[in-house]
Amino acid sequence: MSAVPAGSVWMRLGDAATYLHCSERFLRELARTRQIRSAVVAHKLHFDVADLDAYIRSCTREAVES
């Protein structure tokens, strides 16, 4: 089992969905398909804020020069 880095901030599913402006269902699917790291604690899904930010960065498109 790997240790959680000091300073990590974890959010429950609802808070993480609000943070990303997406549905809980979408986030559950990302976790199920392991597109984003998650943890289950007391039967509740949790996400590291750093992983949520990394996911958003991976979806970012570069601007096109006009």
pLDDT digits (tens, 9 = 90+) for 4-44: 556 689 999 999 999 999 999 999 999 999 999 999 999 99
Dihedrals phi, psi of 8, to nearest 5 degrees = -65, 140
Residue 36 contacts residue 52 (beta carbons within 8 Å): yes
For residue 39, what pLDDT is reported? 96
Residue 13 contacts residue 29 (beta carbons within 8 Å): no
Q: How many CA atoms lie within 13 A of 46 on its CB side?
A: 12
